[in-house]
Structure 1
Amino acid sequence: MTAAVVLAFSLAPGAVAGDAAAPESYGLSMHGAPALPADFTHMPYANPDAPKGGRLTWGVLGTFDSLNPFIVRGLAAPQIRTYVVESLLTRGNDEPFTLYGLLAKTVETDDVRSYVTFRLNPAAHFSDGEPVRADDVVFSFALLRDHGRPLYRQYYSKVTKAEVSDPLTVRFDLAAANDRELPLILGLMPILPRHAIDVARFEDTTLAPPMGSGPYRVGAVKPGASMTLTRDPNYWGRDLPINRGLWNFDEIRLDFYRESNGQFEAFKRGLYDFRVETEPLRWHDGYGFPAARDGEVVRDTIKPGVPEPSEYLVFNTRRPVFADIRVRQALTLLFDFEWINRNYFFGLYGRSAGYFAGSELSAYTRPADAKERELLKPFATRIPPDILDGSYRLPVTDGSGRDRATLRQALSLLAEAGYELDGSLLRQRSSGALLTFEILTTTRDQERIALAYARDLKRAGIEISVRSVDPVQFDQRRLAYEFDMIQNRWDQSLSPGNEQAFYFGSEAADMAGTRNYMGAKDAAIDAMIAALLAARDRQNFVAAVRALDRVLMAGFYAIPVFSAGEQWIARWNRIETPKATSLAGYLPETWWQRVDSQAKQP
């Protein structure tokens, strides 16, 4: 194809580029400049001398019926996205949000980020040897915008024009987007081979191995059971500084397990190499088996620098039972975290009311500064004073499972919302309808928490049901919002951006397949997301994120269950890890197999 415009559509006729263009760069940061110099030799959390070879076996809880992670249909096997399909740029995992060149050798944008230009590495090619060209980039952009998951459509629809300047150069015009993160989002766009994709069938689930430009190719596949990724011996990017010390195994094998206890028993037998432990009881006293006692199994406790993963019981506010915020507040009071933490978690967890726990982005326990108050001024009457001044705290019970003080507070709120006790049952005064709902679970741990919560609610006259379903049904119902309450986690970074609209934005509430599970529709949330996207420096950005955190807390959209301040990793000692840990925590792509164990592999 000649150097011409291959895709153009107008969002703002007459829009012009912004400030003067910056020079081409080897990297791009959301705020400030990349931390690494242009001549960096490897990432600080990777071992450039790590030996190559062997196999990493990964035990995955769940199943899969598709190898296409870019569409809504099906349950796609993980790892395709990074191990097989690459993007123009890739993350530096020691920084809040900095990207370095991968398929793109350089990136260029202006100060207001009204456009972004990527110049591809001429050495880049797909696994079949075909070169990666600008046509593939524009093709991928249009394909994912029109046929991909909702988040792709949401992001890429902001682009005014995509233009191929020459076979190795593509420019995206963003003048109408008003979104400073968008150049980075485009930098993380999966690049798919134009010559190998049937657009008409792209949205169909498939087990046909996808083609990518990454370090691995899909090998053997047993639907729902296992998938093997095999190193591409002709991987074009193996000597890039960004890749030195990464992608060290000849094979990555993913074995899928339907049940968590069976998955753990398989680990104890050495059938897979590592596990991320999420069960405090198991971490506390489940590793007394011989291999762990003898040092064959190593346990690593990692404190990452990103917001702590937090679990929530999410209200689906699309349901009438949760429409009244006073009901949601009362149900939050009735969750006895202290009892659950002591009896189930050995006191290993904390809890935060916010969505960015344990980081500088969290508003919980912090008073709003002048910048936050200015952002929240149009919505000030909707933000409780204690959330604004940082004095709000989650309820603390006596841990007995029968705390009377929180029960009285909850019943008072429920009375204000129009409910009263009829004998031992809570009914709506106007209709006589019971206050009842269902908690949908998919794991034993979720079910255990839900049943404990059901016990707490029964003391207030609220009878609920707990339904446990398999992972496939759970995901299908979650994506279609066919639930009353579920347990969920929104993983957050130190640079939240466009994905916040996908998590909490009004538009996402009515769009199947988003992560706005609570159905939030709030102009204040939308305004704070817009503010964080428009922030030009870190100080204003942090203020906007904290303001978003306050609005979410004020909405009582979810009950905080716990926050995990550490990552618990158990691994067989045949797998070795770098001495340095990234800001993001553990990264299996930096691991390698101990040389003396490679010959012993089955």
Structure 2
Amino acid sequence: MTSIAKRLSSLNIKTDMSARFSRFSKFSLLLSFSVLVSGVSVADSEEQTTSTKAQIHSSHGIAMHGDLKYGKDFKHFDYANPDAPRGGKIRLATTGGFDSLNPFIIKGTPAAGLNRLGQGLLYDSLTTQSNDEPFSQYGSLAKTIIWPEDRSWVTFKLEPNAKFHDGEAIRSDDVKWTFETLVEKGHPLFASYYGNVTEVLTPDELTITFKFEDTTNKELALIIGQLPVLPKHYWQDKEFDKADLTVPVGNGPYKIKSIDPGRSIVYERVKDWWGKDKAVNKGQYNFDTIRYDYYRDDTVAIEALKADQFDVRVELSSKEWATAYEGPQFQDGRMVKKLIPHDNPTGMQAFVYNTRRKPFDDIKVREALGYLFDFEWTNKTLFYNQYTRASSFFNNSELGSSGLPQGEELEILNKYRDQLPEQLFTQEFNVPKTDGSGNIRSNMRKAISLLKEAGWRLDKGKLLDKNNKQMEFEIMIVSPSFERVVLPFQKNLRRIGIEAEIRLVDVQQFIKRFQSFDFDVMVGTFGQSSSPGNEQRDYWHSSQADNKGSRNTIGIKNPVIDELIELVIQAPSRESLVARTRALDRVLLWNHYVIPQWHFPAYRVIYWDKFDFPKDVKTHYFSTDTWWSKDTSIEK
């Protein structure tokens, strides 16, 4: 067993080689590294080549399925303006606070702008994802990407002039050290995300190869490229898993200029950044400074925005969008309120059950409580009818299930028929509906019927179990504005004898409690991409259910879901990926792990009219990385 596998074994991840979907094991590839690379030139040319005999590919980028959109000589991404002026500043905002500048560990609350998977402001990664393709990665710190047809390994040739902010060269040893440190000491998601890596080789200072357990995880060659690269020389005499406010050495487009602990953080552009002229970066990271200010809650933040204390906000509240943004600054055009439609997967926002706790370990109870959330009344009364009811974990995309299973999806699900509800094959999944009047008597009757099947009874206005104990639980929320959503739900629960307490906590406490699975029910989200893969393990896999800090907040331990996750990861084509994801989605829905809330297929953006950005472009993510200030001239 490799050292990586040993470490991951201690993190409660299976290492049994006989298991059907073994994640780590003793593993030895048939070919040595020298044989693997002997079939292709790995010179610094970015020309895409293929060795017919060994089917070895060498390219400037790699796509999950199909071809790359951008050829070897592309100059910039289509959604970026290569002539965008550099200079000026942008002020952003968030709520809560921070106590750490290390986003890669489970301890502490990292500051805004620090992305756990890298690709934030401070750190660069081996590759960069394009935002106008489902899932393609292009070299960033890596100049060339090399892989075999079966994707059993991937090699990255580093840019020879890449440097950390302190001037030290970035070398393969830094990459290897980063990988091993994140797996062994980083947030638990890294152990899950980089699941099938068995060996890391550094034959020279500009070359690093990752070997994989098998050839089924086609996505792994891409997500390894997302690895942020940290400076070994800086960290080797420090405690990596300590959360504090020591400013680290990065290698990205920005470095930290100043911090006011818990209140603000300011980044400044690295003007001599080695990567500023790479095609993947052209037209991006244009501001000289990026400042994040922290506010107590969204209400205070909105007033600060209108008072010109910061510049841009993406509004998540339909009420605030409809009522809060008015005044002379909007009438005279100094502030802009813009709706930007998108067709990205919106994931799932929901009341999330903790199935580790009773009574949520009972599927009948979970299903019953879903009848007591009146979305139609909520949408009409509170949300100005702006929202669409969530009905999938992959809402707003072709990946979501609908109707009855057909084709490849049905073939997959038939293999598990004896382990799945029969209704999954005969009924379309539908969330409970109401007429929007606030009268939900029929839904209440259905809920009580299901609860009776689960062993509960209504006696003198209280819902009691066999031991005459009333059903009681807590609903945890982090935003004060969400109380107006939960209060009607709480009222409906009380009408059938359930006592539900609403618990409002601050951001730090919310993070601590959901990472330690210390909740009954909470309002949570599960974001999704256009190309689901290895991250699904962190969301739903049994191995992550007891791994504190994972995103398996629900506590799912379902062997069928485990196998469906692996099928998604192993999908050989886009068509197969869609069918397998729909199968996973359908099984998740029919297990009633959440009470779906709503989604909105657009970004609600409010900003001061100080900026410009590329027009008529469509990307998978909203970002100000391609914006620029109007009051500056082009930097020479």
TM-score by length of 2: 0.90
Deviation at 1:251, TM superposition (A): 0.3
Query: Which of 241, 245, 249 pairs up with 2:279?
Result: 241
Could you say which residue in structure 1 is the equivalent of 2:26?
12
Counterparts of residues 331-410 of structure 1 (less than 5 Å): 331-363=369-401, 365-388=402-425, 391-410=428-447
Could you say which residue in structure 2 is the equivalent of 1:38?
72
Q: Does the aligned pair in 1 maintain the 2:372–2:492 contact within 8 Å?
A: yes
**Structure 1 residue identity aligned to 2:59:** S
Q: 1:289 to 1:309 in 2, by over 3 A?
A: farther
Counterparts of residues 78-89 of structure 1 (less than 5 Å): 78-81=112-115, 82-89=120-127
Q: Does the aligned pair in 2 maintain the 1:315–1:322 contact within 8 Å?
A: yes
Q: Secondary structure at the match of 1:83?
A: coil
Give aligned-pair identity as a percent. 39
Could you say which residue in structure 1 is the equivalent of 2:561?
525
- 1:464-483 CA-partner distances (Å, limit 9, x unpaired): 11111111111101100000
Structure 2: distance between partners of 1:260 and 1:346: 19
Q: Secondary structure at the match of 1:392?
A: coil
Structure 2: distance between partners of 1:330 and 1:7: 44
Deviation at 1:286, TM superposition (A): 1.4
Query: Which of 325, 330, 341 pairs up with 1:292?
Result: 330
298-307 or 189-198, larger mean C-alpha shift:
298-307
Could you say which residue in structure 2 is the equivalent of 1:325?
363
Q: Secondary structure at the match of 1:242?
A: coil
Query: Which of 569, 572, 588 pairs up with 2:624?
Result: 588
301-310 or 401-410, larger mean C-alpha shift:
301-310
Structure 1: distance between partners of 2:543 and 2:591: 17
**Structure 2 residue identity aligned to 1:462:** I
Deviation at 1:119, TM superposition (A): 0.3
Deviation at 1:378, TM superposition (A): 2.9
Q: Does the aligned pair in 2 maintain the 1:6–1:163 contact within 8 Å?
A: no
Query: Which of 490, 495, 515 pairs up with 1:459?
Result: 495
User: Does residue 488 of structure 2 align to residue 427 of structure 1?
Assistant: no
Could you say which residue in structure 2 is the equivalent of 1:274?
312
Structure 2: distance between partners of 1:148 and 1:580: 40
Counterparts of residues 161-560 of structure 1 (less than 5 Å): 161-176=199-214, 178-198=216-236, 201-363=239-401, 365-388=402-425, 391-428=428-465, 430-560=466-596
**Structure 1 residue identity aligned to 2:530:** L
Structure 1: distance between partners of 2:205 and 2:358: 55
Query: Which of 614, 617, 627 pairs up with 1:578?
Result: 614
Counterparts of residues 76-115 of structure 1 (less than 5 Å): 76-81=110-115, 82-115=120-153
Aligned residues between the structures: 592
Unaligned runs of 5+ in 1: none
Q: 1:573 to 1:423 in 2, by over 3 A?
A: same
Could you say which residue in structure 1 is the equivalent of 2:603?
567
141-150 or 304-313, larger mean C-alpha shift:
304-313
Structure 2: distance between partners of 1:309 and 1:397: 23
248-257 or 293-302, larger mean C-alpha shift:
293-302
Deviation at 1:420, TM superposition (A): 1.2
Structure 2: distance between partners of 1:247 and 1:541: 33
User: Does residue 189 of structure 2 align to residue 138 of structure 1?
Assistant: no
Structure 1: distance between partners of 2:587 and 2:211: 32
Q: Does the aligned pair in 2 maintain the 1:8–1:162 contact within 8 Å?
A: no
Could you say which residue in structure 1 is the equivalent of 2:12?
none
**Structure 2 residue identity aligned to 1:258:** R
**Structure 1 residue identity aligned to 2:391:** A
**Structure 2 residue identity aligned to 1:549:** D
238-247 or 303-312, larger mean C-alpha shift:
303-312
Q: Does the aligned pair in 2 maintain the 1:61–1:260 contact within 8 Å?
A: yes
Deviation at 1:318, TM superposition (A): 0.5
Report the RMSD for the aligned CA atoms in angstroms: 2.0
Structure 2: distance between partners of 1:538 and 1:178: 15
Q: 1:399 to 1:382 in 2, by over 3 A?
A: farther
Q: Secondary structure at the match of 2:553?
A: coil
Unaligned runs of 5+ in 2: 7-23, 37-52
**Structure 2 residue identity aligned to 1:532:** V
Structure 2: distance between partners of 1:254 and 1:597: 24
Deviation at 1:6, TM superposition (A): 12
Deviation at 1:543, TM superposition (A): 0.8
Q: 1:390 to 1:31 in 2, by over 3 A?
A: farther
Could you say which residue in structure 1 is the equivalent of 2:94?
60
- 1:21-65 CA-partner distances (Å, limit 9, x unpaired): 423111011111211111111111111111110111011122110
Q: Does the aligned pair in 2 maintain the 1:440–1:468 contact within 8 Å?
A: yes
Deviation at 1:102, TM superposition (A): 0.2
Q: 1:291 to 1:596 in 2, by over 3 A?
A: farther
Q: Does the aligned pair in 1 maintain the 2:88–2:632 contact within 8 Å?
A: no
Q: Secondary structure at the match of 1:438?
A: strand
66-75 or 455-464, larger mean C-alpha shift:
455-464
TM-score by length of 1: 0.95
Structure 2: distance between partners of 1:260 and 1:548: 35
Structure 2: distance between partners of 1:391 and 1:574: 49
- 1:468-509 CA-partner distances (Å, limit 9, x unpaired): 111111110110000000001111001111111101111110
Structure 2: distance between partners of 1:388 and 1:127: 57
Q: Does the aligned pair in 1 maintain the 2:86–2:633 contact within 8 Å?
A: no
Q: 1:589 to 1:60 in 2, by over 3 A?
A: same
Moved >6 Å (runs of 4+) = 5-10
- 1:54-88 CA-partner distances (Å, limit 9, x unpaired): 11101112211000000000000132231111110
Structure 1: distance between partners of 2:545 and 2:4: 30
